Structures are given as structure tokens and as C-alpha cells.
Structure 1
Amino acid sequence: MGEGQEAMKAIPVTPTVCANWKDEDNICPRQGKLACSSCKLVLYCGRECQVKHWSEHKKSCKSPLMKSHWLPAWDLEVRPPAWSHGAAATNPHNPFGMDKHLWGNTPAMDLLQLHRNEGTDYDKDITMLFAASGDLRNVVKTIQSLPDEFGHRITTTINDREPSITARNAILLLLAMSTLEEESDQTSVEVLAESLIHVWYSAMITGDILSRLQSKVMPLIEKVWQQIASRKPGTMLGKTWHFKSGASLRLVLKKEDWARALTLLDVPEHLTASNARKIRHAIVLAPEREDYRDRWYFKDATPSMRVAKERFREDGLALPFGHPRLGFDYPNPTIFRAAKSWPINDKGDPLGGWPDDEVRATPYRAAEDLYGRLFFYLRGIMTSFIQKIATGKIHFQLFNVDATELGQHLEKGSYDRIETSNIPDLHYLGTRETLRCLSPLLKPPPQNRHATIVLIYLNAVLDTINSGSEQDVPPGIDRIFQYLPKVDPVAFMRNPQGAEMYRVWDARNLVLDAEPFFRRYMAMVKFDRIAEELDVAMKEDNTIVDPWPTRLKLRQGQPGAQEEFATLLSSSFSGLERYVEWKRV
């Protein structure tokens, strides 16, 4: 129990509760309907509760971060920021922390897009491969997007070379599928959806969620471990679970990684809630990283967004801003794998894995609470995902191998879709090696002319720019100032180390015409020769995902263009993410 005491019960998120709360003895039971007119981050049942709660709420509502003229400390103190000297000077965006990829950094996508390809009335089974999956966001987004009328088998292969990521993905899926064995009504599905969100994203979880992990998932993995404990280390061992619905999940791990998977289901010994918070704060609120955080906050679209992001840094809970934090008393064992580390870097953010426009379009009365919108967006996505796997038509198999080794485990010519994450970047496998290893697994056109492999490039444009000359990159300063009209160009030039200078610097990629640089990248990497040698072709028009899903879509002066720019600038996306679709020929 949290710090040796009886654990408090978490408060249900729906209906949205009044934000007037302090502890378990001071919670307003009524529904929150009226947003604070100043910050628009919290909801109250009425004026009386708002007044009563003001002594607490003013800490956020009157935070220095809420001031429209807020400036980072280094700017106010007229000193160089932390990254302008020392080792950080060579990489001003260097991550801080272990940098494990437990959360996505590109917007989740529907890998099938049946309505644009095979058609929603497609009458065959479908197979998908997520070759370097990272988290489950693309799997979840694809499956929840399936048309209700689609009645055929979906086989989904999920691979990642990091054992803990594969195990964590398996735990999330096993939690969903085993819980469905006993609970399938709408209320229990929504509760399960919320549990999955917290296991995925929250630093602390409730006793109920921990109990679910240990009663539903732990026995499944313990039984496997008991059967393989005498095997030699390094031996690859697989187990398939079949569920009452008809769905199944197969997990293949090395012997020692089965043992490690068990450690993700129990809070590390001696790790109290208080110590877990300190360990996390040492990364996400590190004093030596204050300038970095201030730089990110200064780019946020609104002051309220800064305050919301600060709240998530402080408690790490995937909840609406004003929702009671009671009951979240246990370190999340799927994240705190060891008692002395927080594995995600200090820029890691759940918002980085989902389409920003869809999250912002999610209805929520506290209009500025982006994490509240994200919670309700994910709640809808996860509920739909659970309902789809409850049909029994979804079958998972999870591997933990290098993507180059997948051909040794999977049948050639058997997949309708393959997604590669950004392993085609030069820093990883590159385009040729990715296609050489994975394109043979794709179905040939006679079997499915819509079969597609999606390659993602996060660094291609910047790699091309960095390998060229300075004349290649127009500064675009005038265009940036059109989006930042309040910047005084004279004052801007007077302070080369000021916050405005760095905001303009960070905005350069957003207004860059990236297409010519990617064409140069294609020539440099020799896409045409790769296509000829490997019998593949780059599709002229993408039918799965927008080639440039994060770049600005509106022109300056169009309605909403200013808001679109501010939103992209405040996000973790560069605007230069490029998706290329290939097919076999």
C-alpha cells in the first residue's frame, strides 16, 4: 500500500468531477461543468466550489507560467542558456535520461486504410507486420479503425529489438484479452480502457490496476517460466494463449527475457511511491535542465498549455488537469523496471504519439487542458480497440529480434502491410537494407495489389541539409516573422541569446520547403537503383498515410493558419517527418 497506509480509492473520471478537492475528506461529489474563465484548465460544479477551491487553484491559475509576457530565467538574467557552452553546445536538443522508447514520437496511423485500398467489403484475411514497433499506438489505431462490418481474421505481428518493449506490449495486450474473458459490458470495457491508458502512460497506478496486472497477467507468464526455468539462457521460447472469444496471442522471447517480463508486473522491492517520484523528478525536473524546459515552454501555443505540461512533469499522471489524484499510490512496474531509474528521457510526452488535430478536436469543456483532451481521446480509442479484439477475429504474435532477422521467423510473401518505424533513416538500417530485409515478406501484386510497406524518415531532410552548403537553406526569417507578428525584429537582433531568438530558430523547419531536400535525399540514397535491384517500386501517391503528416497545411493568411503554426511549434514534431510507401513489382 502507498507508504505503508491503506490505499485510497481513485475517483472515476466520468462523469467529470468538480475540481474542488484536496484530499479524501474534501472532494466535491458533483459534476464539473463550468470551466475557470481564466486558465480554462479546470471544471467546477458552480461558483461556490470555485471560490472554496481558489486558495488551491490559484497556485496554477496565477502561476508565473500563466503570464502572457513570461520569459525563461536565462533571458531575464541576461545569461547564456545551458546548451550554449560545454558538451551540450554540440547538440542543443540532447536528451536527458535513459531514452527508452516506451512512448511513440510520431502520430499514430491506421496502417490499413481499407476504404482507400482493398475496400471496406474486402473478403479475405489480413496480415500486418510492425517490424520495429516501439509502443502499440499504430497497432491500436489500426485495429480500432477497422470497419464494424469487416468479418475476417486479422493477424498482427509486432516486433521490437528491445526486450522490455516487447514484454510491455505483450502485458498490455494480455491485460486487455484476459480481462475480457470475464468482463465485457460497456462499463467494464471503459474501466479496462482507462487501466490500459494508465499502464501505458502514468508513472503511478492505482491498487486496482496493479491487482489486475498481478491477477490477470502475472499467472500467465509465471506458468511459462515454471515450464522453461531449466532451459539454457539464450534459447528462444514461444507460448500461445487462446482466449474464449477466439482471439489469440503468441509471445516469443529468450529464456532470460521471460524472467524479465515477470519483473514488469511487480513494484521493485523497497521502491516506495515517494522514492519513485523523486527518481522521476531527478530526470523530468532536473535543475540543470531548467533552461531546456523553459525553451520548450516558451514555444507553447498558450500560457495554459505551459501550466498543463508542468503539471504532467510534476505528477506524471495521464489524467485531466483538475481530476483528483487520489489512489495513484503505486509506482508503475512496467515503467519503473529498476528501483533506481526512470527510463524515459525528459522530453518524453504522451502527446507525441497521437495525431494532434484529432486530440484537439476531442470535446472537453476545459478547453485548454490538452492532457484532459488526450485522456478522453485515448479512452475512446482504447474502448473501440477492446471492442474489436472482443470479436475474436484479432490474433497477435510478438517477437523480440532485430528487424533484419525477421525473415528467419516469418513466411515470405505473407503480409498485406508492413510498417518500419524510422529504421530506414541513415542512422539505423537505411533504405536499402530495410527493403532488402522486409520487402520479401510483403505479398506480391497477384496476391494483393494493395500490399504496401511504409517507411518513415525522421532525419532525412536534416541529414540532406547538413551534408549540403549554407546556400541550400534559405533563412526564411521574413516568413517566420509573419507567423510571429509580435516579435520586434530590432529587439530580436539585439539579444542573440534571448528566448525569442531560439523560438525563431526552432521555427525554421516549420516553414521550410522540405520537398526539394527529400528529392535530393532520394537521389543521394539512390532510390531508383534500390527499386531496380530489389524489385520494388515507390508508390507515386500514398494511399495509407500523408507523405508529410506533420507539416503546415494552411497558407499564411488563411483562416486557422496562425493557430496551426502555433500548435505545430509547441508540439514535439519537426514538420519534416516523411512517409514513403513501397510495393513489390
Structure 2
Amino acid sequence: MTSSNRWGNVPAIDVINLGANENDATKDLNIAFVASHDMRHVVKTINSLPSNLSGNLTILLNDITTPIACRNLALLFILGMIPDEALAADVALHLWYSVFLPEEYRVQVGLAIAAALDKSRDDSITVPIGKRSTVSWFYPPEAVAYLVNLAPDAEISKLSTPSPNTVEFKARLLDGTIGIGYDSSDPLEGWDISAVIAAGKAHGARPEDIYGCIYFYLTEQLRMFAKRLRELSISFKLYSTEACGLAQAIKSGRLTELDLPPTVRFNRIEVSNILDAQYVGMDAVLTTWGPLLSDNPFATIVGYFLNWPLLEKDGDPTTCEDEDVIDQCIKCVMDRDERRLRVPLRSPPDALPEFPDDDNWYDYTNLNKYSWAERFVEFSRK
């Protein structure tokens, strides 16, 4: 996913899947999202944990793109520091997905950020969010400047002297001139469409009002996430750097003082699609992050290949003959007997998606831009 796509382009996944793996609510877990992009996988993962979880959860969240890294941090501040969970969820929803922020929400965003920055003025860079959770961030100066300028002007003067370019960018971001990146970006691509429609129906929205459905779905998810921040023991550690460079910094001991010593091991490492040859590549990802994988049968590196068809002959749809595409669709897509909905875990490599009815087929093939060539993979030590 490029930096211009500020939202997800594959549905959110629960990277822990505790019931099918460790199945131990008392176990401490370390989870790394090393090229996180937005927060959807984090939200989905934490919301999927059992309510009786008593183990400590450490979340390493990294993205090299400054606006996305700062937005992720701001979302944690908002959801953890605004006392009213319903208000926190709605403010977070607007910051995450809306081009325009209502003025009162802009103030709420700024106050949450300013309060967090004020608490971290000393050498400490860890602040509480919720009753049992904390967030620590280790951002380069340009990212800190960007974050500071999301706070109200009255607070900015106490915290930093922003550059004119940063102030201009802030104004353009908040008035909607800058926001979603690609004009084809769509929040529907980051979430499971069946769950979105089900949430909408529960609130009286029809499937045809798909963006009304996703509003209700995301509101539910963000309220639950805000509640989990208050109930569970979660330590967030946020970075904004190159993914493999972060792994090298951990292994070299440079992050020991930040509670990431060379001995740290992760139960899950989610690498997004930096496995693609156009980005970091599989060899580099496994070489740098593999040694940081915990030595247990459930520890896994999770990722996916998104752009691999572009390296194949006739893989680029802009140069492939229409007739070839149509023939393949007739043979593979329109055969109702061979479709499968969201290929289950541990399915054979040739398993196909299944669509139980025509409406479901339409929802998955027309309400998003999936190529259906995405390939999700897992790597473990054994």
C-alpha cells in the first residue's frame, strides 16, 4: 500500500486469534505491527480478545509515513483520554475517516493531544490512556512537529514553534484540501463487508446505504476499543521509521532504554505487504524480523503479497487484453459452484472464495476494489 492510501486496502484481521492458538487468557503477549498503515488491524485484534484477558499486552506500532503515524497516535490519545466513550468514538471516527472535522471535534482532538504532550514534557515519553493502558512514542522531530500542530493554537505556543510549512499543512488538512490521498480511497476496503452490513441492519440501515452501515459498524468498533483501553493492560509503543531499520535497532540494543531490549521476542509480527518485491521483499523481511519471533509453536509472521501480479506476464490489467480477462472471469468467477467466502485458515492453496448468494457476490465484488489476487501468508519457526 502506498503512502497516499490513508486507509486499508485489505480487510482488518485479528492477528492473535487467541482461541485457535494460545487459548490462554493469562498469557502475556508481544505483538508487532511493523508497517501498520492505519489502525484497523490493531482495533480488530484488541476487540477480538476475550473480556477476561488478564495477561499484559504489548503492541509495537510502526509506520514510516508521518501523517499516518501521527494520526495513529492521535487516535489512541482521543480514545483513551476523552472520558465519554461515545464521544471519543465519534471524534476518532471523524479524524480517521472524514475529510472535514467539526470545529468542536477539532478542539477535542487538539485538547487530547495537548494533554498527552503536556504529560510528557519531562524526560518521560509514556502517558496513561485509560485506567490500565499506556502509550509511548518515539518519533523523529518532523513527526513531533506535525503532531504538535494538530493541537489548538493556544497550546502550540507552549509546546513548540512550528515551521510555516507545517502550519500551512495543518490548515490545508483541517479545511479538507488534504486528506484522503487517492480520490479512489474507500473506507469499505479496510473492513469485512458482511460485518459492515450486519451492523447497519442492526441499527435500521439498509444495505443500499452502505456508508451509513459502515458508520454504525465503526462506531461500535471504536466504542469497544475505547472500553478495552480502560479494562485491559495494554502498552503501546509507537515508532515512525523504516521497518527493517527498526528491527536492526532492537537487535543492536539501541532501544533497550525504551523497553525493547535485544532479548524481546514477539508472538505475532504483522508485516502488511512490505513482502512485495516493490517494497522491502520477502528475504529482507524474514532476515531482519525472523530472529525476533518468539520460539513457540504459535508465534507467526503474518503478511500478504499484493502487487505480485504486476511482475507476471500479462499481470498488468492496463496492458492485458480484455478478451483474456473476460475469458478468465467466465471460467473462474462466474462459476457459482466454485466460489468460497473468505478462504478459511488452513485451507489448501487452491481454495477459492465462496459467495453464498448473488447479493453477497455483489457486495464483495462491487463495493470494493480487491483484485482477488491478494495472497496472505504466515511464517513460523517450526
Q: Give the TM-score range, shorter chain.
A: 0.7 to 0.9
Please list, as runs of the form range in 1=range in 2, the aligned pairs for 1:162-177 lying within 5 A after superposition.
162-177=65-80
- Structure 1 residues 451 and 365: alpha-carbon distance in aligned structure 2, compared to 1, 3 A threshold: same
In structure 1, how many angstroms separate the alpha carbons of the residues matched to 2:129 and 2:195?
Answer: 33
1:254 to 140, 150, 153: 140
Give 1:309-458 correspondences, 5 Å limit.
336=173, 341-342=178-179, 344-362=181-199, 363=201, 364-367=203-206, 368-407=208-247, 408-409=249-250, 410=260, 411-412=262-263, 414-444=265-295, 448-458=296-306
Q: Is the 8 A contact 2:130 2:229 kept in 1?
A: no
Could you say which residue in structure 2 is the equivalent of 1:475?
324
Q: What is the CA-CA distance between 1:107 and the residue it aligns to?
A: 0.5
User: Residues 242 and 342 from structure 1, CA distance in 2 versus in 1: closer, same or farther, beyond 3 angstroms?
Assistant: closer
Secondary structure of 2:285's partner?
helix
Alignment of 1:170-319 (within 5 A): 170-179=73-82, 183=83, 188-221=84-117, 224=120, 239-243=125-129, 245-266=131-152
Deviation at 1:577, TM superposition (A): 1.2
In the TM superposition, residue 476 of structure 1 has moved relative to its aligned partner by 6.0
* Offset from partner CA, 1:110-157 (integer Å, 9 cap, x none): 1111111111x3431011000000010000010011111211111101
In structure 1, distance between residues paired with 2:100 and 2:280: 36
Question: What amino acid does structure 1 have at the position aligned with 2:46?
Answer: I
Aligned to 1:361, the other structure's residue is in SS state: helix
Once the two structures are TM-superposed, the CA of residue 198 in structure 1 deviates from its matched residue by 0.8
Question: 2:380 maps to which residue?
Answer: 583
Q: Which residue number corresponds to residue 101 of structure 1?
A: 5
Shift of 1:212: 1.4
Instruction: Give, in whole Å, the separation in 1 of the partners of 2:176 and 2:299.
Output: 45
Report the CA distance between 1:337 and its aligned residue: 6.7
| Pair 376,570 (structure 1): closer, same or farther in 2 beyond 3 Å | closer
1:143 is the counterpart of 2:46:
yes
SS in structure 2 at match of 1:218: helix
Cross-structure match for 2:311: 463
* Alpha carbons 1:264, 1:335 under 8 Å: kept: no
Q: Give the whole-Å Cα distance in 1 for the aligned partners of 2:79 and 2:215.
A: 18
1:99·1:343 contact (CA, 8 Å) conserved in 2? Answer: no
Question: How far apart are residue 566 of structure 1 and its match?
Answer: 5.7
Distance 1:383 1:566, change over 3 A: closer
Range that drifts further, 146-155 or 333-342: 333-342
Alignment TM-score, normalising by the size of structure 1 = 0.53
Determine helix, strand or coil for the equivalent of 2:241. Answer: coil
Q: Distance in 2 between matches of 1:263 and 1:375?
A: 27
The answer as to whether partners of 2:99 and 2:179 remain within 8 angstroms in 1 is no
Measured in 1, the distance between the counterparts of 2:60 and 2:73 equals: 11
Write the distance in 2 (CA, Å) between the matches of 1:398 and 1:548.
37
What pairs with 1:38-57 in structure 2 (closer than 5 Å)? none
Q: How far did residue 438 of structure 1 move?
A: 1.0
* TM-aligned CA distance change 1:115 to 1:263, over 3 Å: same
